[in-house]
Structures are given as C-alpha cells and as structure tokens.
Amino acid sequence: TCGKSFNQKSSLMTHQKATHSEDTLACVACGIVMPCVDSLRKHLHTHANIPCTCEPCGLQLSSTNLLAHQQHHSVDRPHNCSICGKSFTSSSYLKIHLKSHSGEKPFSCDICGHRFTQHSSLKSHQAIHTGEKPFICPTCGKGFNNAGNLSRHKRIHTGEKPYSCDTCGRRFNQGNSLKAHQQIHTGEKPYMCDKCGKSFSYLRNLKDHKCFYV
C-alpha cells in the first residue's frame, strides 16, 4: 500500500495494523476511509480541528491530534514485565526496564557522578551540564534536553492525559501531577513551611504561603 519494506514479518504486521487497517484509516469526523495515514492526516485538516473522542480510552481531543494519539493504542507490545506488568514492543526495551527493578545503574556522569540504567539517559542528563537542547517540539519549536521532557510537553498540544486517578477518575498529562493530586485523597501533606510548621499537599501552595513572609 505504501511501499515501505521490513526485515521481519512481525514488523510488517505491526506496521499494517497501526497504519493501514480500515479502523485506523477511517475519518472520525465523516467516516471516509483513506488509503494511508498521510492521506488521512491531510484530510483531517479539512475539518478544522473539530472536537473528537478516542473510542479506546475516551480522551477528548481535536481531529488533527486524534490520529497521532490513536497510534499508541495500535502498537503491539508482546513483551511483559513479570514484576510490574508493564509491556514493551521489544525484548531489548524490556531488558532495560528490568534494571529499574534491580536497581542496576551502570552508566555514570563524569561531571556530577549521577548514575543511570541506560546510556541514552546518561547522554540526555549530560545536556543539563552543557545547556544543549537538541529535542525540538515540531508544533511550537520549544527545545528540551531529553526526549522524555519533549514527550511530556507534546501532551500539551495533543491533550493526551494517560494518567488516571483510581479514586475519582480525574486524568492528568504527567505522572507527578497525578501523584500530587492523590495526596488530596490520602490527606498527605509532605510540604512543610520552615517558618510556622504548616503543611501543604502541593508545593505551589507552600510557595504561595511563603510569600506572606517576604
């Protein structure tokens, strides 16, 4: 259909499922089925960013951002972590992930000594010392020192909120935002004022409180 070639049949099947299945290539606005992802992407712009709903997860986002978001649902992840259940597209990614459970961090920064489980994480960290920001957002042009920060930033444009609170169902675009929110339900207030001893659930609330002492 698109002329792209692969070394393995499994890779071809994953590509076909994510890129050429009729469910993936049907326009959510008018139902027309396009021959390839590029054609569908161009077609979606004719609907001027109408609001749409992703059927697998219920996320509300614009028509032009929906296509990129839905690719996450169609990717095959057959390699599962026996410890936490997280799934990965390849055994090599699973092997890297397992280091997070074992605590193994073989890669060390020569400047500050901080250690990492992956060489790529070390390289991203070193950009902090050099000031380099090689990861550029294609939507707004903002630069980041690592791919993870860029990925989290992109959710601002797509509206994706993959982190859900088990207690109330509220969704967040970052894991640390979910963690901070959950303290409302648990009553935990880890941020304490060193002036008066008052505690807060959110760091921003502590910062606002400290303004009274300035």
- In this prediction, residue 22 has a pLDDT band, given cuts at 50, 70 and 90, of very low
Predicted structure pTM score: 0.42
Burial class (CB in 10 A: 0-12, 13-18, 19+), 118: middle
Q: Which residue has the higher pLDDT, 27 or 99?
A: 99
Query: Is 40 among the domain residues?
Result: yes
CA 73 to chain centre: 13
Q: What is the DSSP string of 194-210?
A: TTT--EESSHHHHHHHH
Residue 191 pLDDT exceeds 70 = yes
- In this prediction, residue 21 has a pLDDT band, given cuts at 50, 70 and 90, of very low
Query: Is 26 among the domain residues?
Result: yes
Last residue of a domain, one of 110, 130, 155: 155
Q: Mean pLDDT over residues 3-26, rounded?
A: 56
Query: Is 35 among the domain residues?
Result: yes
Same domain, 171 and 195: yes
Same domain, 149 and 83: yes
Query: Which letter does DSSP use for residue 32 in this model?
Result: P
Q: Which residue range(s) make up the domain with 122?
A: 79-155
- What is the C-alpha separation between 170 and 177, in angstroms, rounded? 11
Q: Mean pLDDT over residues 28-37, rounded?
A: 69
Per-residue pLDDT at 30: 66
pLDDT per position as a tens digit, 58-107: 566 666 666 666 666 656 777 888 888 777 777 887 888 888 888 888 88
Residue 181 pLDDT exceeds 70 = yes
Residue 11 pLDDT exceeds 60 = no
Instruction: Specify the residue for token string 């967040």.
Output: 172
Per-residue pLDDT at 59: 61
- State the number of CA atoms in the 13 A half-sphere of 11 facing the CB: 6
Query: Is 209 among the domain residues?
Result: yes
Same domain, 54 and 29: yes
Last residue of a domain, one of 74, 106, 130: 74
Q: Which of 6-20, 21-35, 176-190 holds the top average pLDDT?
A: 176-190
Last residue of a domain, one of 131, 155, 179: 155
- What is the C-alpha separation between 65 and 158, in angstroms, rounded? 5
Number of domains comprising the chain:
3
Find out whether 25 and 17 touch, Cβ atoms under 8 Å: no
SS3 of residue 171 by DSSP: strand
Residue 55 pLDDT exceeds 70 = no
Percent of the chain at pLDDT exceeding 70: 69
- CATH at 134: 3.30.160.60
Largest CA distance in the chain: 67
